[in-house]
Amino acid sequence: MKKYTKVFQGTAFSSKSPKEVQILKESLFCINDNGMIEKVVAPEDADYQILLDAYQGLENFHCLAEGQYFLPGFVDLHVHAPQWAQAGTALDIPLYDWLNTYTFPLESKFSDLDFAKDVYQDVVRTLLANGTTTALYFATVHKEASLLLAEICAEKGQRGLVGKVVMDNPEQNPEYYRDVDTQTALADTEEFILAVKELANSTKQGVYPVVTPRFIPSCTDDALKGLGELAAKYDTYVQSHCSESDWEHGYVQDRFDKNDAFALHDFGLLRDKSIMAHCNFLNHDDADLFAETGTAVCHCPISNAYFANSVIPIAHLHSKGVDIGLGSDISGGFSPSLFDNARQAVMSSRMLEDGVNTVLPAKERGVPNSRITINEAFYFATSGGGESLNLPIGRLTENYAWDVQIIDTTIDAAKLPIFYANEDLHDVFQKIMYLVRPENIREVWVQGEKVHSRV
Ligand code: GUN
Ligand code: FE
């Protein structure tokens, strides 16, 4: 019989398609040395009992207790790690003022590596405790502190994709917080890419460098061009903010006479490995360009409610072939939990739907077919994130990474309302998605290694 490094037994939920959740009842998940799922064995399969007899009682056999379930780890496609220090505050003003009043002053403090270490250790720990096994991070302009964030991800076992933020435009960025000049911004980015690639060799789960122009206003044309070239040279991920707010969208129109999507594309920044946050003002042509280039949209439903008063029609975008994932956008979004963001994604989508409203005329009531289900929100938080990054993550199926959260529905402090002995598992899944709190996340595993435990 084939030897596996670890074998897990229990009931799991995983996306089969955007609308359909697959229930893997009491299955065996056989994990290899690389932390990948090599085989999933169902109770009705011929080798189920043989495997169970061979592994039960061994140290590398992990069996869930009653009321516990496996869920894929979440993929958060947009987190500003330094902004964790102000999460839950400062959401009283529009984006432009928010950046200048609160955010740039905070981020400028990350030249201090001791402060950076405190915040970065805490944000990575917190995201893991909330079930996020992969995170796409903006750090700050500081090369050393950005590298420190990648090192902390590597050390704590999170699959971190990290960007040193580029802000070289003296007309838009304050003197106290920007790259020294364009050449330095590009040279620092290149050194950062090489250092993270080197660091990745020492990790099992992988850490990745990300080319990160903060957004178009932050960068000169030369920087945007140079960053596009670096992304191509090193075949890296790219992240930025795209068409987020009225002000930002208008600024790009004034500067380039086109929308963000086409402007970014002109600089080589829309690639198969590009993830663009927000995208509130995407039009049909922009969406087609995203689909053609393989660029993904990161939907940030909590943040969009504050900075854009906006609900993007993710169901429509997805049906046009655009990859979609979910992002917390800490701290434009206040919550580090993708459970919270999945819930908001569903609720926001229902507000976009054409509904009953006796005050507004019919045509102003909303957009038909906008609503998404909790199954779709779960898909975007897991499988959709994996597809956006082109990584085999976000599903509990063969040849995917063993990135899981073990949900305990029974604990005293946060017991879920499950009262029937044989409650329908689709209902259990929905209760988990709507009601789980961090207390219910008992363990988190990344690439076959335990990275968080409440016990
Ligand atoms: N646009 C440019 N910078 C930021 C940021 O830090 N957060 C958000 N939400 N939008 C931005
Ligand atoms: Fe953001």
ipTM: 0.99
Q: Are residues 254 and 330 in the same domain?
A: yes
Residue 1 falls inside a structural domain: no
Residue nearest to atom 9 of ligand 1 (CA): 332
- Give the count of domains, the chain: 2
Given this model, what pLDDT does residue 38 score?
A: 98
Given this model, what pLDDT does residue 421 score?
A: 82
Domain containing 421 — which CATH number? Answer: 2.30.40.10
Which one, of 147, 32, 176, lies nearest residue 81 by Cα? Answer: 147
The helix-helix angle for 182-200 and 143-156 (nearest 10°) equals 20
- List the pLDDT tens digit at each of the 455 positions of the chain: 789 999 999 999 999 999 999 999 999 999 999 999 999 999 999 999 999 999 999 999 999 999 999 999 999 999 999 999 999 999 999 999 999 999 999 999 999 999 999 999 999 999 999 999 999 999 999 999 999 999 999 999 999 999 999 999 999 999 999 999 999 999 999 999 999 999 999 999 999 999 999 999 999 999 999 999 999 999 999 999 999 999 999 999 999 999 999 999 999 999 999 999 999 999 999 999 999 999 999 999 999 999 988 889 999 999 999 999 999 999 999 999 999 999 999 999 998 887 666 666 666 667 788 899 999 999 999 999 999 999 999 999 999 999 999 999 999 989 999 998 889 999 999 999 999 999 999 999 999 999 999 97
Q: Are residues 115 and 220 in the same domain?
A: yes
Distance, CA of 135 to CA of 76 (rounded, Å): 5
Residue 156 CB less than 6 A away from ligand 1: no
Q: Are residues 63 and 79 in the same domain?
A: no
Which of 389, 410, 438 is the last residue in one of the domains? 389
Q: Are residues 97 and 53 in the same domain?
A: no
Q: Are 245 and 307 in contact (CB under 8 A)?
A: yes
Residue 26 falls inside a structural domain: yes
Which of 389, 410, 432 is the last residue in one of the domains? 389
Residue 332 CB less than 6 A away from ligand 1: yes
Distance, CA of 379 to CA of 391 (rounded, Å): 15
Given this model, what pLDDT does residue 365 score?
A: 64
Domain hosting 11: range is 6-72+395-453
166, 167, 218, 244, best to mutate for ligand 1 pocket (most atoms within 8 Å of CB): 244
Q: Are residues 127 and 264 in the same domain?
A: yes
Residue 244 CB less than 6 A away from ligand 1: yes
Residue 163 CB less than 6 A away from ligand 1: no
Residue 129 falls inside a structural domain: yes
Q: Are residues 364 and 247 in the same domain?
A: yes
Q: Are residues 169 and 288 in the same domain?
A: yes
Burial (CB count <10 Å: 0-12, 13-18, 19+), residue 229: middle
Residue 252 CB less than 6 A away from ligand 1: no
Q: Are 173 and 209 in contact (CB under 8 A)?
A: no
Given this model, what pLDDT does residue 364 score?
A: 65
Distance, CA of 22 to CA of 312 (rounded, Å): 27
Q: Which two tokens stand for residue 449?
A: 């290694």
Q: 321 alpha carbon to ligand 2 midpoint, in Å? A: 23
Residue 159 falls inside a structural domain: yes
Q: Are residues 176 and 253 in the same domain?
A: yes
Residue 303 CB less than 6 A away from ligand 1: yes
Distance, CA of 455 to CA of 448 (rounded, Å): 18
Residue 433 falls inside a structural domain: yes
76, 78, 95, best to mutate for ligand 1 pocket (most atoms within 8 Å of CB): 95
86, 96, 103, best to mutate for ligand 1 pocket (most atoms within 8 Å of CB): 103
Residue 335 falls inside a structural domain: yes
Q: Are residues 253 and 287 in the same domain?
A: yes
Give phi and psi for 35, each to the nearest 5.
80, 20
Distance, CA of 296 to CA of 391 (rounded, Å): 13
Which one, of 112, 114, 132, lies nearest residue 123 by Cα? Answer: 132
Which of 372, 389, 406 is the last residue in one of the domains? 389
Q: Which two tokens stand for residue 250?
A: 């208008």
Residue 330 CB less than 6 A away from ligand 1: no
Return the ligand 1 atom nearest residue 300 CA: 9
Q: Are residues 273 and 373 in the same domain?
A: yes
Residue 15 falls inside a structural domain: yes
Return the ligand 1 atom nearest residue 329 CA: 9
Q: Are residues 442 and 360 in the same domain?
A: no
Which one, of 193, 311, 240, lies nearest residue 78 by Cα? Answer: 240
Residue 197 falls inside a structural domain: yes
Q: Are residues 67 and 215 in the same domain?
A: no
Given this model, what pLDDT does residue 357 score?
A: 61
Domain containing 158 — which CATH number? Answer: 3.20.20.140
Residue 78 CB less than 6 A away from ligand 1: no
